[in-house]
Homo-oligomer: A and B are copies of this chain.
Amino acid sequence: MDVTSQTLNLYQRVRADILSLELMPGERVTERGLESIFGASRTPARAALMRLETEGLVQRDGRGWIISPIDISEIRALAELREAVETAAIRLSIGRASDADIESLTELLESDHPAFDEEESVRAGGDFHVELAQLSGNKFLIEAVRNAMTRLERTRWLEVRTPEAREKAWQEHWQILEMVRLRNADAATTLCAEHIKGTNERLIDFLVSQRRRFKGNGLSIINNVETI
C-alpha cells in the first residue's frame, strides 16, 4: 500500500487504494486483513467496509467482502443517471446561479486547460461535473453526481488516454459552461447529454475490446458485457 499517510484514517486509505486500483476489482478483502494491513482494529475496518459498500466500492460476496468488480452494465446505467441529474442541475443552475459563480467556475476550468498530465486530467474532469452541479444549489442532485463520479473513477482514466481525448473533453466542458453563462438551457443540456453519452460510448467500447484480456485470469475485473 503506497497510501500510508498518518493523517488519513483507515476508511480514507482503503478508499484511496481501491480508486487507485491497488486493491484490484474482484479481489477478496477481509476485516482482519484490513486490520493487519492498515494497523487498526476490526471496528474501524468494519465501519470503513460498510461505508464503502454504500459508495459501491466494495460489496458483499456471500458472508465476505470483495472489491466491487467493474461492471459494464453498471457503467451504462450510470451514464443514464448522470444524463438525468446533470441536465436537471443545469436547468436549475440557469435560473439560480449568479454570474459570479459561473465566472468563478469558468476561471477554474481555464486554469486546468493545459491538463496534459493524465492523473491531473482525471481529477479535473471528475471535479468539473460535480462543480457544475453545485451551481444548482440542490444537494441531492450534487450528491447524485458525486456518487456517480466516484463509481466511475476507476475507469475514468480510460477516457483520457490521449492528449486529443483530454482536449476534446475540456472543449466540451467549456462549451457547456459557455451555454450556462449565456443562460441557454436547451443548448447547455443538449451539449451535456451528448458529452455524457459520447464519453460513455467510447469508454464502453474500450472496455469491451479489452475485456478478453482479463477474461479467465481468476479475477472478475470486468463484468456483465451483456448486449453492448
A45 to chain B, nearest CB (A): 13
Smallest beta-carbon distance A200→chain B, Å:
13
Name which of A51, A138, A148 has the most chain B CB atoms within 10 A of its CB. A138
How many copies of this kind of chain does the complex include?
Answer: 2
Bound Cα distance from A80 to B46, whole angstroms: 34
Interface string of A30-68 (1 = CB under 8 A from B): 000000000000010011001100100000000000000
In the complex, the answer to whether A85 meets B81 with C-beta atoms within 8 Å is: yes
Interface of chain A: mostly helix, strand, loop or mixed: helix
A-side interface residues, number (CB < 8 Å): 23
How does the 8 Å CB contact mask read for A80-95 relative to B, with 1 for contact and 0 for none?
Answer: 1101110110001000
Residues in B with CB closer than 8 Å to A87 are: 84
A213 CB, nearest partner CB in chain B, Å: 27
Q: Which residues of B contact A78 (CB under 8 A)?
A: 140
Is A77 interfacial (CB 8 A cutoff)? yes
Q: Which residue from B43, B51, B148 sits with its C-beta under 8 Å from A140?
A: B148
A72 near B: Cβ within 8 Å? no
Q: Which residues of the partner chain B approach A92 to less than 8 Å between Cβ atoms?
A: 80
Q: Contact check, A80 vs B88: say whether CB atoms are below 8 A apart.
A: yes
Check: A141 CB closer than 8 A to any chain B CB: yes
A141 and B81 form a contact (CB under 8 A): yes
A97: CB under 8 A from chain B? no
